[in-house]
A = this chain, B = another copy of it.
Amino acid sequence: MKISSVIDFSRNNQDLFLSQLKDFIKIPSISSSPNNNQDVQNCAKFLYNDLINIGFTNVEIIETKKHPIVYGELFYSKRLPTILIYGHYDVQPVNPLKLWTSPPFEATIRDGRLYGRGTVDDKGQVHLHLKAIESWLKVHKKLPVNIKFIIEGEEEIGSENLEPFIKENKNKLDSDLIIISDTSMIKKGFPSITYGLRGISYFQLDVKGTSQDLHSGMYGGAVKNPINALVEILSKLRNSNGKILIPSFYDKVRKILPSERKSFSELPFDEVEFQKNIQAPKLFNEKEYSILESLWCRPSLDINGIWGGFTEEGSKTVIPSEAHAKVSLRLVPDQKPNEIETLFENYIKKISPNEINIHIERMHGGNPFISDITHPAFKAASLALEKGFGKKAVFIREGGSIPIVNNMCDVLNVNCLLIGFGLPGENAHAPDEWLDLDNYRLGIESAIHLYKGLSEVKF
C-alpha cells in the first residue's frame, strides 16, 4: 500500500477537513455545564455520523450515567497490530467570555491558527486521527493496522464513567498499543513524544475553631484563629527553598538518569522565554535542578485555593470559626498516591495546633506515568513524526497528570504512546484557545505514517 497517495489525498482535502473540524468546534460540548447537555449529545452524534461516513464499523453511541462515549472500529486481521486511539470530545467552560478575541464556538482562523474552545483540547487532535484514517480508507479502502477508536465526553470532568466502562469492556478494548493525542509539542517545529507524566494527590483541609465567628477585638489574643492556624500548618509543608517537608516524601522519587538530563538540556526550551511568557517576577524551583527537570521529574506542592473569614471589600474584624484550603501534590515515579496521602495526613495531624480541629479530605489521586521508550513502538512513532514534520522527534515528559492514561494502561495492560500536536501557549483551559494549523496538517500526515510504521512493529 503506497503511502504517498494517502498523504496526497490528505493534502488535497485540507480545506474540506478544516471545514469539518470547524463544524466539530462549533458544537459547545461543555461537559461541566448542565445547560449544555444537549450540545454534548449533539457532539456525540456528530462524531457518530463522521465515523459512519469515514467507514468505521460497529459504530455506537454508548450512553453512560452522564455523557455518552462514542466508539468505532476497523478490524482487518488478527495478525495485524490493534491500535486503540483515545480522545475526548467534551470541552472546558469558556468564562470569562469577555477575554475571548472571537467567540469561543465560532472557530475563527487568524494568523495560521484556528481559535475556539476545544480546538487543541482535544477536538482538533481527535479530528486529525479521524482524517488520517479517512485518507487511508479513501485511497486504499483499508488501513495497515486494526483500529479501535474511543472518544469520551467527560474528560474535563474526571472521566468518571469511562473508567468503569473500560473495566467492563476489556475484551472489546483489547489492543497492542494505546495512542493518545492530547498533549503538546515542546516548541513549534519539534515533534514530540511524551513518555512521562506526573501523578497527583489532591486534598481539602478544613480547620475548625470556635462554634461561631468571633469579634477580633473581643477575642483576639485569647483564641486560636483558624486562619492563623491554617497558615501555620501550610507554612510547614515546604521550606523557603521549596523542599517539601513531609517525612519520607522523597523516598521513592526516581532519580533522573544522566541520559535524561543530557537529553532535556538539548531540548529547545528557553528558561528566560518561559519566564517572560508567564510574566513571573522570577522563577522558583529547586536549585539543584533545571526548570524542565523540576517540572517533569520532581514532585511539587501547591496550594490551589484558600479561603476563610471576610473576603469582601472593606474591613471586618472577625475571627472566623473556619478556614479552608485545597492542596495538591504532583507526584513522580515511583511515588504512589495512596502512600503519599497517608504520609501527608500523618504529617498534617502531627503539626496541627491542638487549639483547633482539622479535617483532611482526599479529593482525588492519580499515579505518575512513565513509558519504556525502548519499546519498538516508540522508535516507529519517532520515525513517523520525523517523516511528517521533516524533523527528528524529541522525547519529553510533562508536568501535568492525565489520570485516564494510567487507568487505561493498567486495566488493559498495554503501553501508551502520547503524541500531542498542541503548542506552548495554546490556552487549553483559558480564553483564546487555539490550534496551530500547520500542526493540524502535519499531524494528519504524521498519523498516516504512524499507522503504517506501527504495522511493522512486533508487539
Contacts and interface: CB of A to CB of B under 8 A. Distances in A.
Contacts of A317: 200, 202, 302, 304, 328, 400-401
A422 to B, nearest CB: 11
A302 to B, nearest CB: 5
Contact of A315 (B220, B282, B319, B363): B363
A214 interface: yes
Given A231-B234, A283-B355, A316-B304, A220 B311 contact: no
Given A217-B400, A235-B235, A317-B328, A227 B278 contact: no
Given A220-B300, A235-B236, A305-B308, 7 more contacts: A204-B315, A227-B303, A228-B234, A228-B301, A234-B235, A282-B354, A309-B326
A200 B228 contact: no
Interface string A268-298: 0000001000111111111000010011001
A210 interface: yes
17 contacts: A204-B315, A209-B280, A212-B430, A215-B428, A215-B429, A217-B401, A219-B278, A221-B300, A222-B285, A222-B294, A224-B282, A225-B302, A227-B302, A227-B304, A227-B305, A307-B308, A314-B363
A399 B218 contact: yes
A319 B306 contact: no
B222 A284 contact: yes
Nearest to A210: B278
Nearest to A325: B227
B330 A210 contact: no
A67 interface: no
A364 interface: yes
Interface of A: 198, 200, 202, 204, 209-225, 227-228, 230-232, 234-236, 238, 240, 242, 274, 278-286, 291, 294-295, 298-311, 314-320, 323-326, 328, 330, 353-357, 363-364, 398-401, 428-430
Protomer copies: 2
A355 B303 contact: no
A217 B398 contact: yes
A122 to B, nearest CB: 15
Given A281-B355, A354-B282, A309 B315 contact: no
B356 A231 contact: no
Nearest to A299: B221
Contacts of A354: 281-282
A219 B212 CA distance: 38
A215 B307 CA distance: 19
Contacts of A280: 209-210, 223-224, 355
Nearest to A364: B315
B298 A304 contact: no
Contacts of A363: 314-315
A257 to B, nearest CB: 19
B295 A304 contact: no
Given A218-B400, A357-B281, A311 B306 contact: yes
Contacts of A282: 224, 354-355
B216 A304 contact: yes
Nearest to A229: B284
A296 B386 CA distance: 75
A11 B3 CA distance: 107
Given A212-B278, A278-B211, A330-B216, A303 B221 contact: no
A85 to B, nearest CB: 23
B216 A328 contact: yes
A343 B47 CA distance: 64
A316 B309 contact: no
A219 B295 contact: yes
A304 B309 contact: yes
Nearest to A234: B231
Given A234-B231, A303-B227, A309-B304, A399 B217 contact: yes
B227 A281 contact: no
A289 to B, nearest CB: 9
A301 B364 CA distance: 35
Contacts of A318: 304-305
